[in-house]
Amino acid sequence: MSTVAGPILHLFANYKWTGPADPAIRSVAALRELGLDATFAQAGFVHRGGEHRVAEELWNRAVPVITGLQLRKHFHVPSLLRDMRTLRAMLQRDRAALVHCHLPADHLLAALACRALPAPPVLVRSLYEPMAPGRGWRERYAFRRTAGVIAPTNGSRDGTIAAFHLPAERVLLQPPVTEPQDLQGPDRRAQWGLDSSHRLVGITARIQPHRRFDLLWDIARTVVDAMPNARFVLLGRGNEQDTRQLVLEPVARLSLQQHVVLPGYQKGADYAAALRSLDAFLFLVPGSDGTCRAVGDALAFGLPVVATSRGILPELLAPSRTGEIPGFACAEDRATLAAHLLRLLQDDGLRASCGAAALRRARLDMDPRRAARSLAAFYERLLADRGGRR
């Protein structure tokens, strides 16, 4: 049981299911399991016709919310000033002990709202990119008023310490988390017309030009030429034009129609069933989530991962202290990536050992409850330090 006393408010300036939304909500849910009085501020601003997926997931996880803040993602002065006044009144009313920010917009908002309070709460910021934030005026203003930072990589941690002149003990290194998964549930092979003789490579990615679908299909063609029973499963969606230009047309041009499965975007139990169907996982380009949540999901299902060396991927797939390898982060070229996939697909022993290492990485290093305990202890240190300075 944590000794953190007083309400903790988490801010998240977006209504979309952007990359950091999942770890932010998981963090609050896990903190509440420890007995902390943690609440999530649900963004009130939604574009016309937009789907408030963050609100849906907060409801699914039974996380208590407060409303009344617009929490826009992008800089908008009238909205920011309204939110500043509203948040300041909320913090005074609820006597919040700590405000935990997850995105640049809510970080700036919290710093502004706390500025004139006689007894401001401790301000904490989570980062979700592999490198430190830039040093624009908004970042400098917010970080000067920030007591602690949670960084997902060594590069992010070291860069933040250097950029904003923070003491090392106030920047916590916390790898991304992923929920433990049931490996024995249903899969989708039969539904896709496949059986145990096929070797399935999955990739989770929104269909967008910058996600290197050109490289994906070149890799698929190389792998299929060497291993005709291989299949590539794309778990993602895009608009009609991108889907046609980036998926359907190149798949047809390379004669891959019989080797590509297109279930589309999956979530919840359907996504879990899809991942249980796979033998390996391929990841090329990080999207809006610099912590590459899809890779964490794959590791939690015991899937060996082949990835490029972009961003956080080399740290996620680094050998363990005992030398176990959950996958390979390698050069961003067709031949190298295809060769590593073929090694995994053709060598049952290697695939099994990497899969076991992936599962251990997820259940030990990426355990959300262990991360919550570490975060609660970090809160306690920051609050104790603040008390000692008064």
pLDDT of residue 305: 98
Domains defined for the chain, CATH in brackets: 8-177+367-389 (3.40.50.2000), 199-365 (3.40.50.2000)
What does the alpha-carbon distance between residue 4 and residue 113 come to, in Å, rounded to a whole number? 22
pLDDT of residue 6: 81
Which of 204, 219, 190, 178 shows the shortest CA–CA distance to 302? 178
pLDDT tens per residue across all 390 residues of the chain: 556 768 999 999 999 987 789 889 999 999 999 999 999 999 999 988 888 989 999 999 999 999 999 999 999 999 999 999 999 999 999 999 999 999 999 999 999 999 989 999 999 999 999 899 999 999 999 999 999 999 999 999 999 999 999 999 999 999 888 888 889 999 999 999 999 999 999 999 999 999 999 999 999 999 999 999 999 999 999 999 999 999 999 999 999 999 999 999 998 899 999 999 999 999 999 887 788 989 999 999 999 999 999 999 999 999 988 889 999 999 999 999 999 999 999 999 999 999 999 999 999 889 999 999 999 999 999 999 875 454
Question: From the centroid of its chain, how far is CA 265?
Answer: 17
- φ, ψ of residue 200 to 5 degrees: the values are -110, 130
- φ, ψ of residue 315 to 5 degrees: the values are -75, -40
246-285 residues labelled b (16+ CB within 10 A) or e (exposed): bbeebbeeeebeebbbbbeebeeeebbbbbbbbbbbbbbb
Q: Which helix H or strand E contains 235, and what residues bound it?
A: strand 230-235
Question: From the centroid of its chain, how far is CA 242?
Answer: 24
SS3 content of the chain, % helix, strand, coil (to 5): 45, 15, 40
Which of 350, 357, 310 shows the shortest CA–CA distance to 329? 310
Q: Which helix H or strand E contains 100, and what residues bound it?
A: strand 98-101
What does the alpha-carbon distance between residue 186 and residue 295 come to, in Å, rounded to a whole number? 21
What does the alpha-carbon distance between residue 178 and residue 316 come to, in Å, rounded to a whole number? 12
pLDDT of residue 49: 82
| pTM higher than 0.75 | yes
DSSP character string of 313-364:
HHHHTS--TT----EEEE-SSHHHHHHHHHHHHH-HHHHHHHHHHHHHIIII
Handedness of CA 231, 233, 239, 240 (dihedral sign): positive
What does the alpha-carbon distance between residue 185 and residue 97 come to, in Å, rounded to a whole number? 42
pLDDT of residue 390: 47
C-alpha count within 13 angstroms, C-beta hemisphere, residue 236 = 22
pLDDT of residue 179: 85
